[in-house]
A = this chain, B = another copy of it.
Amino acid sequence: MLTTKDVSPTLEEYLEAIYKLERKNGAAKTSELAKMLNVALGTITNTIESMEKQNLIKHKPYKGVNLTRKGRRIAIDVIRRHRLSERLLTDILKIDWSKAHNIACKLEHAISDRDIIRRLDEVLGKPKTCPHGNPIPSEDGEILEEELEVLVDLNPGERGVITRIVYEDPELLEYLASIGLVPGVNIQVKEKAPFDGPITLKAMNRSYALGRNIASFILVKKRHVRGGR
């Protein structure tokens, strides 16, 4: 049996962070991890070393770390618990989606029992994504990473549907909710100002100007109009 031996909440956090950085950049650099996990660089080095001993990751100095199969399995499990927790918070407890992420960071470590997770999944109606549009892995570790475009990469004229907010920061989420740019909304890019200036887009018959940094956290599903390629 594949007994994903239990790791501490701390290591769960590390694995989760590594998973995300690996997705984005191919590997997780220690400096990026330090920033993401809000700990000192030396701490990362120490922990990384012990994680490698436990066969959770592979570390190539100056290149970054990558998950082993074992590490990835646990990471995905944590992500499943995290996103189901977020759903619990927003759908059942009616907590604001901007606060859900941070609270779920604690909850995800508390609901490790298989039965609870399954029951939670059922009560929530087996949701496919978290409230911010990020996919919820299945019980056996499948995760459907759809092919999406980063909003900031769309060119003027292109259309799409807001699908995922990948940076689940309370302030960003609150802002996006306040202006109505949430998953499911159709948008069309109108203009990209030069010198890394804002992106102007149209949605719900209104016009929006977003900074590039914000637009880089939003993934959209491109809509190919009139027989697009």
Contact = CB atoms under 8 A, between A and B. Distances in A.
Interface of A: 89, 92-95, 99, 103, 106-107, 109-113, 115-116, 119-120, 123
A55 to B, nearest CB: 26
A94 B107 CA distance: 18
A94 B120 CA distance: 9
Given A110-B106, A110-B109, A115 B99 contact: yes
Interface secondary structure of A, over-half rule: helix
Contact of A94 (B95, B111, B119): B119
A110 to B, nearest CB: 4
A170 to B, nearest CB: 12
Contact of A120 (B93, B109, B115, B120): B93
Nearest to A99: B115
A99 B113 CA distance: 10
A153 to B, nearest CB: 36
Contact of A103 (B94, B106, B113): B113
